[in-house]
């Protein structure tokens, strides 16, 4: 039943016009929205790079609870009911598990499979059955805190559009602590939120990111730095996660829609870089001739 459901989802996306684009509450959309009861399962992953100690686990777990409080507060502002439940898998939501490495972009399904084997289950289905957790009627998101030196990100397990496994690396590339705002950002991704910040070649173009900076300067999908009380769930994200209505202009922020422009920006950048490198080498050669 479960696997059939998740097979059905991409088919629905293909054949129902505008599905996933317009805010039309349907049983599927209601299931995917960041509303009602959301069950969270968390694991702390030790890697060859580093190990968790108890104090650190407690620290990040507190940050996770803080991020949930923030999201519940934002839901309230948007007139939505939201409640996180961390107790659906009592005893297992703070487990530390060793996986040699969890690379950015590694297969989420096999990652979950490996974790389940480490904690003594045959797989995720076996685990869910043990806890009598029915995926057809209850929402489940899995968050991994990985001890590694990498950037945090979320990715999907079951479908292209909605992300069910978030991987949060607990020391990012510049060595900063990953706090509650980053965790909230990643949880929002799990419910379909788009990145709204500018980074060459990713998610937004220069033009769309300029508009976003003007319109939604405090969006948590644009920045995670600063005081959490100054951040918010913007209109675009609210639509993505099922809190707000669709507006036509939101389409331009769709990373799929603006991908052509993003690729062009990236190619222009590379071309400019190559040109300056050629110029630099020529100058060096000339200088060498003079000497």
Please give the residue whose beta carbon sits closest to Zn ion in the complex.
195
Question: Closest approach of Cβ 190 to Zn ion, in Å?
Answer: 11
* Stretch binding Zn ion (CB under 5 A), from 31-39, 161-169, 189-197, 283-291: 189-197
* Stretch binding Zn ion (CB under 5 A), from 17-25, 161-169, 175-183, 194-202: 194-202
Torsion of CA 6, 12, 14, 16, to 10 degrees: -170
> 10-47 burial, b for 16+ CB within 10 Å, e for fewer?
eeeeeeeeebbeebeeeebeebbbbbeebbbbbbbbbb
Question: Closest approach of Cβ 96 to Zn ion, in Å?
Answer: 25
* Stretch binding Zn ion (CB under 5 A), from 133-141, 195-203, 205-213, 275-283: 195-203
Most distant CA pair in the chain, distance: 80
Question: Closest approach of Cβ 158 to Zn ion, in Å?
Answer: 19
H or E element, residue 87: none
Identify the bridge partners of residue 38 per DSSP, sorted by sequence position: 84, 139
SS3 251: helix
Residue with Cβ nearer Zn ion (113 or 255): 255
* Stretch binding Zn ion (CB under 5 A), from 4-12, 79-87, 191-199, 266-274: 191-199
Question: Closest approach of Cβ 179 to Zn ion, in Å?
Answer: 14
CA distance 132 to 120: 16
Identify the bridge partners of residue 169 per DSSP, sorted by sequence position: 146
Residue with Cβ nearer Zn ion (124 or 154): 154
71: Cα within 13 Å, side-chain hemisphere: 33
Strands 153-155 and 165-169: antiparallel
The CA–CA distances, whole Å, from 1 to 125, 137, 180 equal: 12, 12, 35
Residue with Cβ nearer Zn ion (67 or 93): 67
How many residues touch Zn ion under the rule CB under 5 A: the total is 1
- Contacts of Zn ion in 114-173 (CB under 5 A): none
Residue with Cβ nearer Zn ion (162 or 195): 195
Is residue 234 close enough to count as binding Zn ion by CB under 5 A? no
Question: Closest approach of Cβ 202 to Zn ion, in Å?
Answer: 9
Residue 250 per-residue DSSP state:
G
Residue with Cβ nearer Zn ion (159 or 237): 237
Question: Closest approach of Cβ 163 to Zn ion, in Å?
Answer: 10
Residue with Cβ nearer Zn ion (75 or 220): 220
* Stretch binding Zn ion (CB under 5 A), from 50-58, 101-109, 192-200, 233-241: 192-200
* Stretch binding Zn ion (CB under 5 A), from 44-52, 98-106, 188-196, 276-284: 188-196
Is residue 195 close enough to count as binding Zn ion by CB under 5 A? yes
> 96-127 burial, b for 16+ CB within 10 Å, e for fewer?
bbebeebeeeeebeebbebbbeeeebeebeeb
CA distance 148 to 98: 12
From 135, 159, 138, select the one nearest 8 (Cα to Cα): 159
Question: Closest approach of Cβ 189 to Zn ion, in Å?
Answer: 5
Q: Interface with Zn ion by CB under 5 A: which residues?
A: 195
């Amino acid at each position: 039943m479960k696997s059939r459901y998740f097979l059905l989802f991409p088919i629905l996306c293909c054949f129902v016009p505008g599905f996933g684009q317009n805010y039309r509450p349907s049983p599927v959309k209601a299931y995917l929205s960041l509303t009602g009861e959301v069950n969270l399962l968390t694991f702390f992953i030790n890697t060859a790079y580093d190990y968790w100690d108890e104090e650190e686990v407690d620290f990040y777990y507190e940050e996770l609870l803080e991020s949930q409080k923030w999201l519940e507060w934002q839901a309230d502002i948007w007139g939505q009911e939201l409640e996180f439940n961390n107790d659906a898998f009592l005893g297992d939501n703070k487990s530390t598990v060793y996986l040699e490495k969890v690379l950015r972009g590694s297969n989420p399904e096999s990652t979950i499979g490996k974790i389940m084997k480490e904690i003594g289950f045959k797989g995720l289905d076996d685990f869910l059955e043990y806890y009598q957790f029915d995926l057809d009627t209850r929402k489940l998101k899995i968050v991994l805190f990985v001890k590694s030196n990498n950037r945090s990100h979320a990715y999907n397990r079951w479908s292209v559009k909605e992300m069910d496994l978030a991987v949060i690396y607990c020391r990012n590339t510049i060595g900063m602590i990953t706090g509650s705002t980053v965790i909230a950002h990643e949880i929002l991704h799990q419910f379909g939120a788009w990145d709204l910040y500018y980074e060459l070649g990713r998610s937004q173009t220069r033009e769309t990111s300029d508009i976003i900076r003007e319109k939604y300067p405090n969006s948590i999908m644009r920045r995670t730095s600063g005081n959490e009380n100054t951040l918010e769930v913007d209109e675009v994200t609210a639509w993505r996660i099922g809190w707000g209505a669709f507006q036509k202009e939101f389409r331009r922020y769709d990373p799929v829609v603006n991908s052509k422009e993003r690729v062009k920006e990236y190619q222009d950048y590379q071309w400019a870089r190559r040109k300056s490198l050629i110029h630099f080498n020529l100058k060096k050669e000339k200088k060498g001739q003079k000497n």
